[in-house]
Chain A
Amino acid sequence: MAPADPTPADPTPARRSLAAWLEARFNLTEMLAFLASFGVFPAELDTTRPFREALHDAWRRPLPSYARWPRVLGLLSFLLFLFLVTTGALLAFYYQPTESEAYRAGTAIVRDVTFGWFIHQMHRWSARLLLVILAVRLWRFFFQGTYKAPREAVWMAAVVTFLAATQADLTGRLLTWTTTGYWTTVRALEVIHALPVVGPTLMFLAGGTTPDSLFLTRFYVLHIAMLPGALLLLFYLHFNGVRRVGLSHAETEGRARGETARVQMINMIILAALVFGGLVTLVTLAPTPFEPAADPALTPQGMRPPWYLLAPHAIIEMTPSMLPRWAGGLVVETILLLILVLPFLDTSAGRSLRDRRIAVAAGIVVLAFWLVLTWHGYALEVRR
């Protein structure tokens, strides 16, 4: 480390860059540090130091344990969330959340607005991928024992993030006011309504059990303001928690490659580019066809709840007829609650698979049941 440290020489009056101008007026270091709380910037920053110095320093620091491959699912989900916010804002420029205008506005976006179809399809595919990635991430956390102390909060944040994302997806499905969008929502509401206490409360807040014009407006507000806000908060909590407690297992992995935050930043840009490329490919080659407008008076055949509600749907439908419908809903709610408080239930000693045989066995059984029930929930509607 012999060469003279150039840092002190940097803020000379001769180099009056824009960054320096801004630096004099805003605390740029703190802004960047805030971004780090969403996993976007991979390094720790010393917020007391000037921006350039802090950045320069951070670039060279070895990578913190939580920001390394293969733990990209969290970052990936946040990237998709950013895509969703961007494309969603663009869609909102044209969308009108009323029963009479929603479908017409949707058609105008995908047909008449230049590249409207592209933005719309990007939004759809990002949403699908986000849900899948959040679900996969939960299972990864589970099988790697990431929920154990001191990461209980990280696990709970991840579970709630998944639930919030499903709600964002559900509210978004209704907005198109297409046949499938409308009737999928109706079927989903049937499932949600069967959940004791929670279901009726949510329905009360949404203002009824039948999607009508006001219902659409409320779903719109939930979809564009409240749920994204909640997700943002949850992402923040998650990354903040991870930064505090570090990723599990990281300490056991050698740091063979001396990767710095700078390299990691490049890795992230590469990942973002690949995700973007993948999305554009899906959007171009596998666009979802646009459908006819919903007719609330005409139920088409074979409409089923969205995939994440198929298992609850199957459980509720399988409830014996002598029991009330909410009995099935209670089962679903109990399972959800058990998943949420899993860190406090599993008191086994270690994090490895061998250390928590019971929990892993239970997890495998739940996963198997979930898959079978999802299939059953799907088949239920095929038979009808």
Chain B
Amino acid sequence: MTGGALLAAAALALAAAAAPTAAADPPAGGAPRVLCGVCHPDVRVEFEQGVHAGEGFDCTSCHGGNAAAATIEAAHRAPFRGTPKRRDIPALCAGCHADLAKMTPYNIPADQYALYLTSQHGRRLAKGDESVAVCTDCHGVHDIRREDDPKSSVFARNVPTTCGRCHGAPPPGSPDGAPPVEGSPFADYQVGVHGQAFLAQANGAAPTCASCHGSHGAAPPGIGDVDKVCGHCHATARAYYREGPHARALREGTGPECAHCHGNHRIAPADIALLDTACAACHEPGSEMVKVAGGMKALIAGARDEIGRARAAVDRAAAIPLYVEDYQARLEEAHTSLVQASPVVHALDVRQVEPLTERARGIAKEVESEINGKMGERWWRRVGLLLFWFYLGLTLAVLFLIRRRALEGDPR
């Protein structure tokens, strides 16, 4: 023990040399002396990078003990908590973060602890399962940073990776950079459209885990709630879904929701191919429902192909170049109608889809035929070329005739 005390005294002397004013005259009533960093220098460095450091907190705020004490024994004397137990951490943080008076000046909501208690994480922790996430698993321990700090683990860009640390983490002992476990939510999210948009295309508007599950109150949406969650962004699709037979079936008992056809984490791109695969998963081939799906698919595919053909014609004409700005604008209109048709599909009613796809197809067909009419000008250019060579040939013939006469008439 004397050895330990000596060591501490030596460290103290070093610290005193580094910061003579702080050590020489203890502040009288000012900021208290915090000597924990003498023995825990790396923790102190971490802590000072975090958001709590500048806000009048020190180690004792969470760990207890006496920060100003010069010996280990005195520093670690009661009420010293040491490393808080995992099950105690949420309540510890809530000591401040559930206090409305303390949080309001920072404009931070004070209901996070209450939300946490309702989440899967919180409910399982209450049952004694300590493997679930507590505050520090997502926010970090000593260097807790602001949510809008790009280095923060809860900064929007980092959310999928942070959740993925548990929900798809490679098994212990895997090499660094090992891919997430196949079939885990994180692995599925990465290949789904949302993950592709957010991670690969850096589209900040695409959803992360927290967009659908919430953060502190993280929970999977319950039955009957999925369309509400997806409907945050896909409001039109939701409105048509609620009109359709699937939603009616759900209201009466069981029926498919968004995830049944589109998947949850591994969300497939909204493509008309889904009308083949997703419907056949539940409905018999040849049934009325499969026929409806086929009808809608044919309408959309027909309009899409027609727009593609018209667009190719416009591109050909633009390269000549012909005046195509009007046609481009009309094709945009056609494309808008086609885009409008995709959410309408969720009502599962061919009669609602048809007017939109027909409009798109009609405009595209009109554009294509008008362009082809204009392209006829190229044909006329060739006719003009033939005529030109006819007259040029005549001219050349006359010239050769004159030349021969000039040669013959040459007095030499």
Contacts and interface: CB of A to CB of B under 8 A. Distances in A.
Interface string A238-275: 00000000000000000001111011001101100110
15 contacts: A60-B411, A107-B321, A112-B323, A263-B403, A263-B410, A266-B403, A270-B400, A273-B395, A273-B399, A276-B392, A277-B388, A281-B389, A284-B382, A284-B384, A285-B382
A266 B402 CA distance: 8
Nearest to B403: A266
Interface of A: 1, 60, 62, 107, 110-112, 117, 257-260, 262-263, 266-267, 269-270, 273-274, 276-277, 280-281, 284-285, 287, 289-291
Nearest to A259: B407
Contacts of A280: 385, 388
B141 interface: no
B395 to A, nearest CB: 6
Contacts of A277: 388-389, 392
A287 to B, nearest CB: 8
Contact of A290 (B318, B385, B395, B406): B318
Contacts of B395: 273
A260 B410 CA distance: 8
Interface string B378-390: 0001101100110
Given A258-B407, A260-B406, A280-B388, 17 more contacts: A60-B411, A110-B321, A111-B322, A257-B407, A258-B410, A260-B410, A269-B399, A273-B392, A273-B395, A273-B396, A273-B399, A277-B388, A277-B389, A280-B385, A285-B382, A287-B320, A291-B319
| Majority-rule SS of B interface residues | helix
Contacts of A289: 319-321
Nearest to A118: B381
A111 B406 contact: no
Contacts of A110: 321
B127 interface: no
Contact of A1 (B384, B385, B399, B411): B411
Contact of B396 (A112, A117, A262, A270): A270
Nearest to A257: B407
Contacts of A257: 407
B103 to A, nearest CB: 46
B410 A284 contact: no
Contact of A263 (B322, B384, B406): B406
B351 interface: no
A136 to B, nearest CB: 24
B396 A274 contact: yes
Contacts of B385: 280-281, 284-285
Contacts of A273: 392, 395-396, 399
Contact of A266 (B384, B399, B411): B399
B385 to A, nearest CB: 4
